[in-house]
């Protein structure tokens, strides 16, 4: 298969090249990734600036470095850079989990979503922080998932968001199909004063709160399971449609 690899940590990030190494035996892989870290850019795309693409060598391989966001990378790869439309897009491996409401902010996840919006199956893969930044288990697991997707197919408009727990391989308890939870970072703004005595705010976060619900992405990850969440692009709240129809809204008060 032709597989497009991207991420939000930038083209030099280790996790991206661990994927390239693990998948290149069986597949043709192409790296098109941001030229620098673009964490938390969500589904941002670049409209008011031009984009540059440089083919560079890093981590022992060649890739296309794009001066844009993960979603830009996927669009540009499919529409301009690649000669053949990719059969699949893999985004990651992100160092740190992408669970709960953080899916909204994650560039890793948005790259996979962009692929699905373009009609290409996709996986977003994240590794909960482990001491050695060891990506081998995650990278090999993506290979297993690619085979399963090829065999079974995914619903149109849906991709897989995968998180690998922060433990050695032999301590992984198993694999769980999960729903997106509501775990979130406790957000804080550090209010400080610059050398010119002007106030600035720097956004940070404290400990991540995971759900109590045991079937969510964050909760199974904490119990050393691999979490696989099917994520859909349709944002409609169908249950609310009937509720709203009963409101009897008019243009005149």
Tell me which residues in 175-214 interact with its own copies (CB under 8 A).
175, 177, 179-180, 184, 187-189, 191-192, 194, 198-204
Pairing of strands 53-58, 61-66: antiparallel
Q: For 164-177, what is the HEC assignment?
A: ECCCCHHHCCEEEE
| Interface with its own copies: number of residues (CB under 8 A) | 86
For residues 42 and 60, which CB has a smaller minimum distance to its own copies in the complex?
Answer: 42
Site for its own copies in 77-96 (CB under 8 A): 79-80
Q: Is 71 a residue that touches its own copies (CB under 8 A)? A: yes
Does residue 20 interact with its own copies by CB under 8 A? no
Instruction: Rule CB under 8 A: say whether 25 interacts with its own copies.
Output: no
Q: Which residues make beta-bridge pairs with 229?
A: 161
The correct pick among 24, 55, 85, 104 for binding its own copies (CB under 8 A) is: 104
Hey, which residues between 213 and 232 contact its own copies (CB under 8 A)? 226, 228-232
Nearest distance in Å: CB 7, its own copies: 16
What is the enclosing helix (H) or strand (E) of 239?
helix 238-245
Token pair, residue 219, equals 């909760």
CA angle, corner 233, sides to 227 and 236, nearest 5? Answer: 115
Which of the stretches 16-24, 46-54, 57-65, 86-94 binds its own copies when contact is defined by CB under 8 A?
46-54
Taking CB under 8 A as the criterion, the residue among 25, 174, 196, 197 binding its own copies is: 174
Q: Is 53 in the site for its own copies (CB under 8 A)?
A: yes
Shortest reach from residue 106's CB to its own copies, in Å: 9
CB of 44 to its own copies, least distance (A): 4
Which residues, 6+ apart, have CB-to-CB distance to 4 below 8 Å? 29, 30, 32, 74, 77, 78, 82, 86, 88, 89, 90, 115, 120
Stretch that binds its own copies, among 9-17, 38-46, 87-95, 127-135 (CB under 8 A): 38-46
Backbone angles phi, psi at 102, to 5 degrees: -65, -15
Nearby residues of 225 by Cβ (< 8 Å), 6 or more positions away:
165, 172, 173, 174, 175, 176
């Amino acid at each position: 298969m032709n597989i497009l690899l991207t991420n939000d940590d930038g083209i030099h990030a280790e996790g991206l090249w661990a994927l390239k190494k693990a998948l290149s035996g069986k597949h043709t892989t192409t790296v098109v990734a941001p030229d620098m870290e673009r964490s938390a850019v969500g589904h941002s795309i670049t409209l008011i600036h031009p984009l540059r693409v440089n083919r560079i060598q890093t981590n022992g391989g060649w890739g296309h470095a794009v001066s844009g966001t993960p979603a830009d990378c996927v669009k540009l790869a499919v529409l301009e850079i690649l000669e053949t439309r990719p059969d699949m897009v893999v985004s990651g491996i992100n160092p740190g989990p992408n669970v709960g409401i953080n899916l909204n902010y994650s560039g890793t996840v948005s790259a996979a979503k962009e692929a699905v919006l373009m009609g290409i199956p996709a996986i977003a893969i994240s590794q909960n922080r482990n001491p050695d930044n060891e990506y081998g288990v995650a990278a090999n697991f993506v290979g297993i998932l690619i085979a399963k997707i090829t065999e079974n197919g995914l619903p149109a408009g849906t991709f897989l968001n995968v998180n690998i727990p922060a433990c050695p391989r032999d301590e992984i308890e198993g694999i769980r199909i999960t729903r997106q939870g509501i775990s979130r970072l406790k957000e804080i703004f550090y209010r400080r004063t610059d050398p010119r005595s002007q106030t600035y705010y720097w956004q940070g976060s404290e400990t991540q709160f995971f759900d109590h619900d045991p079937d969510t992405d964050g909760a199974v990850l904490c119990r050393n399971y691999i979490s696989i969440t099917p994520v859909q692009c349709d944002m409609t709240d169908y249950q609310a449609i009937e509720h709203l129809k009963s409101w009897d809204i008019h243009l005149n008060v």
